[in-house]
Amino acid sequence: MTLPVRNLLAEEASPYLQQHSDNPVHWRAWSPAALAEAKELKRPILLSIGYAACHWCHVMAHESFENEAVAAVMNRLFVNIKVDREERPDIDQIYMAALHAMGEQGGWPLTVFLTPDGKPFWGGTYFPREARYGRPGFVQVLEAVDKAWREKQQSLAESADGLTTHVEQRLAGAKGKAVLDRGTLADLSNRIDGMIDRDLGGLRGAPKFPNAPFMHSLWLSWLRDGQTEHRDAVLISLEKMLAGGIYDHVGGGLSRYSTDAEWLVPHFEKMLYDNAQLIRLCNWTFAATGNDLFRIRIEETVAWLLREMRVDGGAFAASLDADSEGEEGLFYTWSREEIEAGLGSDAAVFFQDFELAAPHGWEGKPIIRQSEARQRQGIADYAQLAPLKAKLLSVREKRIRPGRDGKVLTDWNGLMIAALAEAGRSLARPEWVGAAAKAFAHIVTAGEDGRLPHSMLGAKKLFPALSSDYAAMTNAAIALFEATGDAAYSDHARQFVGELDRWHQDSERTGYYLTASDSGDVPIRIRGDVDEAIPSATSQIVEALVRLSSLTGDPDLWEKAWTTAEHAMGRAAQQTYGQAGIVNACALALEPLKLVIIDNPESPSLVPVVNRNPDPRRVDIVVATGTEANRPLLPGGVLPPTDKPGAWFCSGQVCLPAVTDAGELEKLLQRG
C-alpha cells in the first residue's frame, strides 16, 4: 500500500525536516515504507539531504521546494525523500560517496537520484530553479532525469549497480590489518604540516575550515616527537581564527568556516561539534603556552554554550542557523553607528582593539575582527573590554535570533561533554563539570532497553544509536570519571562498549559498523571510517577502547582495542583522504599513557598539577589516600600503595618510579 499523497514530515523529530513540512512537495522521511512505495510505483527516488544550519539548503528550499510548479513536477515524476544528514549520517555518507564516485563535487544540499531499490545513478548538490551559475535549472534537471530513466532504464540500473558495489567496497570493505608504527604517524603529520598556511594559519587557500582532526594530528606529533613546527602550526592557526570574523567576538563561539583565506567572512552557522573541538584544542594550547587568549576564548565559548545551546534537561542543541530575517549573518554583524549607539563614549575604547571589515563582494553589514597584534593587546586589556562586549551582547539579544536546531544528537553531545569535563577540570571550573554531568545524565536516562537514542527532540526519540554515539559517550564517561572520580562513569563506559559489541561489531570481530545490525533501512552497512567535520566513528571507537582498557587494565579489552586499531589502519591506508582521525586514535593505541595519582582530597598537592597539564594521550585515575577498595592496577598487576601521596606514570606496560613531589611531577608532565 502506498503512502498518503501529501507531505509527511510534520511529525518528524528533526527540526530540519519539520522546516519542509509545509512544502507542496510530497516529502517522505527515509524509511522502509518510503522505499517500498518507490518499488511499488516503479518510480525513481529524488533524495534531498541537508541540515538546518545549511545556507544553500534554505536557498534551494525557497526557490524550488516552496514553489507549486516545481513541486508538481517532483510529485509527478519521483518519490521524494528528505533526509537530515545529522539524523542519518549513515545515509548521507553512502550517497555523498556515490556523488564523489560520479566525479562530482560534494556538499549540501545533496541531491541524488536513485533507482526504486535505492541505488544511486546521478546527482549533484544545489540546483537553482532557473539556469544560472553555470548550472541547469532544477525543472530541466528533473525532466532530463525522467527522460533518461524512461528511455535508458536498463543501462541506468546497471550503472547504479556498479556504483553501489564501488561505494560498498570503499565504505564497508575489509582490507586486512596494517602494522601500527610511529613512521605512519610521522608521515601523516608531516603531510598535514606541508599543507599549512604559515602566514594565515589553517590549510592553504579558501574556504578555511578549523579542521580539528588535522590540528589534533599536529599536536600529537609535537607531544610524541617534539616537532615544534607542528606545535607552532596549531598555535598560529588558532590565533588567526580566534582573531578573525569566524569567531564571535561579542557572544563567543566559532562559526562553521570562513569563505575566504583570512578567517574573516564566515558562513555564520554555529555547530556544537566545532565548538567542542575548539574547547579541547584551546585547553591543550593554554596548558602548553600559558597564553591567556586560549583560556579566555574557552570561557567565552562555554558562556555561549550554556546561554544559547542548552535544551530542557541539560543536553545541548545541534546548531544555530546562519540566517535571520532572511539574511545571512544579520544577527552577528554591526554598523559603526550601531556600536557607537550601544557603547556611547566607550566606543572609542572598543575600536582601539577591534575593527569592522567589509571585504569585496560582501553585501551585509561589516564583521567584527581583530588583527593578531590587537588580539594580544585585547587580552592584556580584557578587564576593560569585557564590560563593553557585555553591553553589545545585551543590544544584540534584542535582535531577531537565528533559528536553533534544538535536536539533541548523542555523538555531538558526547564530544561536548568530554570537552566541558576536561576544560572544567583543567581550569578549576566545577560548574562546567556539573553541566557536562547533567547533559550526560539527560542522554543516558533517554535510553530504552539499554540502548541509546541517536537523536532527541523533546519527547521524540530516534533509535537505534550509531556506533559513533556509543564511542563518543564512552569517551565522555571516561572524561567525567577523570574529573569526578565517580566509578559510576566507568561502569557506564563499560556498558556502552557492551552495546557497541552487541549491535555493531562485525562477524570477524575486527571492527565495527556505523549502523546497528537491526537497522533495516540502510542499503549498505558502512564502517564510518572517514572524517568529516568531526573525527570518524571508527577513530572515536578506537580511542574509546584504548582509553577504557587503560582505565580498567582489562587485557581482553586491550586486545580488542589493538585488533580494532590494526584493521582500522589497514582500511585507512586505502583511503585517499579523511584518515587523520584513525591515525590519531592509533597513536593512542601505540603509546597509551596512564597516570595513577594518590592524593589527599582535602589538601591535594599532586592533583592540581595533573589537572593543569592535560594530555590527550593520557588517562588519569585519582585515588584518595587511605583507599583500600577499588584501587586501579598498574601494568603488571601491581597495586599502588595508598598510605601517602604519589603519582605513577605509565607508558604501555612500563611505569616510571613513583613521584611524590609536585615540582617533579610538573616537570614530568610538561613538554619541553
User: What pLDDT does 176 receive?
Assistant: 84
Nearest Cα neighbor of 524 from 155, 177, 114 is 114
Helices (H), 89-227: 89-101, 138-151, 153-172, 182-193, 212-225
DSSP 648: E
Nearest Cα neighbor of 17 from 91, 69, 73 is 91
pLDDT digits (tens, 9 = 90+) for 213-267: 999 999 999 999 999 999 999 999 999 999 999 999 999 999 999 999 999 999 8
Letter for the amino acid at 470?
Y
Domains and their CATH numbers in the chain:
15-172 (3.40.30.10), 244-404 (no CATH), 593-669 (no CATH)
Residues 6+ apart with CB under 8 A from 191: none
pLDDT digits (tens, 9 = 90+) for 450-466: 999 999 999 999 999 99
Residue 361 gets the label, from left (phi > 0), alpha (psi -120 to 50) or beta, of left
Nearest-5° Cα angle at 622, 621 to 623: 120
pLDDT above 50: residue 672? no
Please say whether the beta carbons of 9 and 21 come within 8 A.
Answer: yes
**Mean pLDDT (whole number) for 273-285:** 98
pLDDT digits (tens, 9 = 90+) for 29-75: 999 999 999 999 999 999 999 999 888 999 999 999 999 999 999 99
Distance from C-alpha of 403 to C-alpha of 19, rounded to nearest angstrom:
11
Distance from C-alpha of 214 to C-alpha of 470, rounded to nearest angstrom:
23
pLDDT above 90: residue 174? no
pLDDT digits (tens, 9 = 90+) for 536-586: 999 999 999 999 999 999 999 999 999 999 999 999 887 766 889 999 999
Half-sphere exposure of 600 (CA within 13 A, CB side): 9
- The CA–CA distances, whole Å, from 100 to 55, 91, 110, 482, 559 equal 21, 15, 11, 41, 36
Of residues 612 and 134, the one with the higher pLDDT is: 612
- Considering the entire predicted model, what is its pTM? 0.96
User: What pLDDT does 663 receive?
Assistant: 96
pLDDT digits (tens, 9 = 90+) for 507-535: 999 999 999 999 989 999 999 999 988 89
pLDDT above 70: residue 671? no
The interaxial angle of helices 555-572 and 537-552, nearest 10 deg, is: 160
pLDDT digits (tens, 9 = 90+) for 405-447: 999 999 999 999 999 999 999 999 999 999 999 999 999 999 9
User: What pLDDT does 629 receive?
Assistant: 82
Please say whether the beta carbons of 422 and 276 come within 8 A.
Answer: no
Distance from C-alpha of 566 to C-alpha of 553, rounded to nearest angstrom:
20
User: What pLDDT does 55 receive?
Assistant: 84
Nearest Cα neighbor of 421 from 412, 410, 411, 432 is 432
